[in-house]
C-alpha cells in the first residue's frame, strides 16, 4: 500500500506558469516579499501554447511595473508597427499603430517569463493539479496546501472547476499554425473578419524570416465545429495561403461571458477568469494584468488582513471595470456588422480614432467620444 504524500504548506500557490501565473508570482514577490510562494505547472518549460503570438505594447508596460527584464524577455522578437483590418462586409483600414507590438512565439516568451520568476528565488515546480478542496484550514491541491490559491491554469482551468465556479458564458474555438507570409501582408499584422459565421475572423501575424503565425477562430454556438471547418474557413479568408505547419486548436473563454469574482481564498486570473477580448482574441495583456492584480490582492490579504477575493474584485473593478463594461456592451451588439464597418471607416479617416480602436481591441481602451462621434452608418 502506498503511503499518502506528506502535505506541504505555503502562503500562496499559483497554479499555471503562463503569462497570468508568472505575473501573479512577480506581484507576490514585490508586494509580499516574506510570503512563501510556490508556482506549479503541469508542463515543463519551454512548452508550446496555441496562440497568435501577438503581444500588445501594454504587456510590456505591465511587465516593466513588475520588474521583469523586458529587453531579455523580448530579445529577438519581431516588432510590427502596421495593422490592417477588414470588416465582415469588406471595409478595410491599414495604418501604423501608435505603439509597436511584439510577435513572439509562446514557446520562447513564456519560458523567459518563467526564468524571470525563478531569478527572484520563487520555486516553479512541475505538478499537474488534479483536485482542489477549499476547506476552513486552507485550500488543498492534491498533497499541497495554501492559504490563498491563484488559479492561472488557462482555458480549461482545473482550479475553476474544482472551486465550483460557473462555466464561462461565451467561448470561441481557434486554430493556429505557421506558414509563409502572403506577399501583400509582409511585415503587417492582419485581421480579417467574416459575415459567414460572424463573430469570426482569421489573422496573419509576421514572426520573421518570411513566416507568419496564421489562424482562424469563431464563437462556439449550437452547431458543432470541427478541425476541418476551421481549416476550410482559414483558407477561405486568407486565399493563397500555403498549408500551415504546427496546427493546434484551443478554446478562448471571452471576457463578455466571464464569471463574477467571489469572496474567498481562490482567485482566478487570465483565461481561467475568462479574460479574452471578444473582438480580437487578445488575452496576454489581460493575463498579465489580472495576474498582477491577483498577486497583489493575495499579498495584501495575507500581510494586512482582508478577504483576498474581495480585494481582487475591487482592484479589477477599479483597473478594468469601465473597459470591460464597454467591450461587453459592444459584444452584445457585435452581431450588428454595420457597427464594425462604421468603426473601421472611422479608423480609416482619422489616425486617432484608429489608435482608439487598437487600444480597445488590444489593451484597456474605451469607446471614446472621439471614436463614437466619427461613426458613420451607411444605408
Ligand X SMILES: Cc1cc2nc3c(=O)[nH]c(=O)nc-3n(C[C@H](O)[C@H](O)[C@H](O)COP(=O)(O)OP(=O)(O)OC[C@H]3O[C@@H](n4cnc5c(N)ncnc54)[C@H](O)[C@@H]3O)c2cc1C
What minimum distance in Å lies between the beta carbon of 57 and ligand X? 11
Point out which span in 2-10, 40-48, 116-124, 346-354 binds ligand X (CB under 6 A). 40-48
Cell numbers of 283, please?
A: 488575452
Task: Determine the residue with CB nearest ligand X.
Answer: 283
Indicate whether 176 belongs to the interface with ligand X (CB under 6 A).
yes
Site residues (CB under 6 A) for ligand X, limited to 76-115: none
Indicate whether 18 belongs to the interface with ligand X (CB under 6 A).
yes
What minimum distance in Å lies between the beta carbon of 366 and ligand X? 19
Point out which span in 92-100, 116-124, 280-288, 346-354 binds ligand X (CB under 6 A). 280-288
Angle value at C-alpha 289, between 295 and 65, nearest 5 degrees: 80
What minimum distance in Å lies between the beta carbon of 108 and ligand X? 13
Distance CA 16, CA 114 (A): 10
In the set 35, 51, 179, 188, which binds ligand X (CB under 6 A)? Answer: 51
In the set 11, 58, 153, 218, which binds ligand X (CB under 6 A)? Answer: 153
What minimum distance in Å lies between the beta carbon of 1 and ligand X? 26
In the set 11, 58, 218, 271, which binds ligand X (CB under 6 A)? Answer: 271
Query: Is the C-alpha dihedral spanning 173, 179, 184, 188 positive or negative?
Result: positive
What minimum distance in Å lies between the beta carbon of 304 and ligand X? 27
In the set 10, 11, 49, 363, which binds ligand X (CB under 6 A)? Answer: 49
Q: Whose Cβ is closer to ligand X: residue 21's or residue 32's?
A: 21
Whether 330 and 254 have beta carbons less than 8 Å apart is answered as no
Q: Whose Cβ is closer to ligand X: residue 42's or residue 235's?
A: 42
In the set 8, 30, 31, 43, which binds ligand X (CB under 6 A)? Answer: 43
Indicate whether 165 belongs to the interface with ligand X (CB under 6 A).
no
What minimum distance in Å lies between the beta carbon of 305 and ligand X? 28
In the set 32, 105, 138, 154, which binds ligand X (CB under 6 A)? Answer: 154
Indicate whether 158 belongs to the interface with ligand X (CB under 6 A).
yes
In the set 168, 283, 309, 343, which binds ligand X (CB under 6 A)? Answer: 283
Indicate whether 58 belongs to the interface with ligand X (CB under 6 A).
no
Indicate whether 146 belongs to the interface with ligand X (CB under 6 A).
no
Q: What CA–CA distances, in Å, run from 309 to 81, 265, 293, 294, 315?
A: 38, 6, 11, 8, 10
**How many angstroms from the chain centroid is the CA of residue 367?**
20
Burial 301-322 (b: 16+ CB within 10 A, else e): bbeeeeebbebbbebbeeebee
In the set 32, 206, 270, 361, which binds ligand X (CB under 6 A)? Answer: 270
In the set 12, 13, 14, 15, which binds ligand X (CB under 6 A)? Answer: 15
Site residues (CB under 6 A) for ligand X, limited to 184-223: 215, 217
Chain contacts with ligand X (rule: CB under 6 A):
15-21, 40-43, 49-54, 128-129, 152-154, 158, 174, 176, 215, 217, 250, 252, 270-272, 276, 281-284, 287
Amino acid at each position: 500500500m502506498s503511503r499518502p504524500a506528506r502535505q506541504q504548506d505555503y502562503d500562496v500557490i499559483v497554479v499555471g506558469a503562463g503569462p497570468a501565473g508568472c505575473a501573479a508570482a512577480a506581484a507576490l514577490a514585490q508586494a509580499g516579499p516574506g510570503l512563501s510562494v510556490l508556482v506549479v505547472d503541469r508542463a515543463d518549460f519551454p512548452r508550446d501554447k496555441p496562440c497568435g503570438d501577438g503581444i500588445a505594447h501594454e504587456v510590456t508596460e505591465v511587465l516593466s511595473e513588475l520588474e521583469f527584464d523586458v529587453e531579455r524577455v523580448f530579445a529577438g522578437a519581431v516588432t510590427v508597427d502596421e495593422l490592417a483590418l477588414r470588416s465582415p462586409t469588406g471595409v478595410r483600414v491599414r495604418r501604423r499603430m501608435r505603439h509597436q507590438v511584439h510577435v513572439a512565439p509562446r514557446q520562447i516568451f513564456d519560458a523567459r517569463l518563467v526564468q524571470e520568476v525563478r531569478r527572484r528565488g520563487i520555486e516553479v515546480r512541475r505538478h499537474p493539479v488534479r483536485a482542489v478542496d477549499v476547506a476552513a484550514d486552507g485550500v488543498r491541491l492534491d498533497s499541497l496546501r495554501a492559504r490563498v490559491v491563484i488559479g492561472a491554469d488557462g482555458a480549461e482551468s482545473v482550479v475553476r472547476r474544482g472551486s465550483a465556479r460557473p462555466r464561462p458564458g461565451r467561448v470561441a474555438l481557434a486554430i493556429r499554425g505557421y506558414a509563409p507570409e502572403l506577399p501583400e501582408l509582409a511585415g503587417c499584422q492582419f485581421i480579417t473578419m467574416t459575415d459567414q459565421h460572424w463573430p469570426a475572423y482569421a489573422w496573419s501575424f509576421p514572426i520573421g524570416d518570411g513566416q507568419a503565425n496564421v489562424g482562424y477562430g469563431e464563437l462556439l454556438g449550437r452547431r458543432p465545429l470541427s478541425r476541418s471547418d476551421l481549416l476550410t474557413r482559414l483558407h477561405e479568408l486568407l486565399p493563397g495561403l500555403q498549408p500551415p505547419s504546427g496546427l493546434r486548436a484551443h478554446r478562448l473563454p471571452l471576457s463578455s461571458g466571464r464569471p463574477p469574482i467571489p469572496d474567498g481564498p481562490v482567485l482566478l486570473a487570465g483565461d481561467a477568469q475568462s479574460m479574452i477580448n471578444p473582438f480580437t482574441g487578445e488575452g496576454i495583456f489581460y493575463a498579465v494584468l489580472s495576474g498582477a492584480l491577483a498577486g497583489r490582492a493575495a499579498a495584501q490579504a495575507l500581510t494586512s488582513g482582508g478577504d483576498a477575493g474581495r480585494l481582487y474584485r475591487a482592484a479589477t473593478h477599479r483597473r478594468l471595470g469601465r473597459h470591460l463594461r464597454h467591450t461587453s456592451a459592444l459584444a452584445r451588439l457585435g452581431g450588428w456588422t454595420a457597427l464594425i464597418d462604421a468603426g473601421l471607416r472611422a479608423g480609416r479617416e482619422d489616425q486617432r480614432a484608429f489608435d482608439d480602436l487598437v487600444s480597445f481591441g488590444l489593451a484597456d481602451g474605451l469607446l471614446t467620444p472621439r471614436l463614437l462621434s466619427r461613426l458613420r452608418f451607411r444605408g
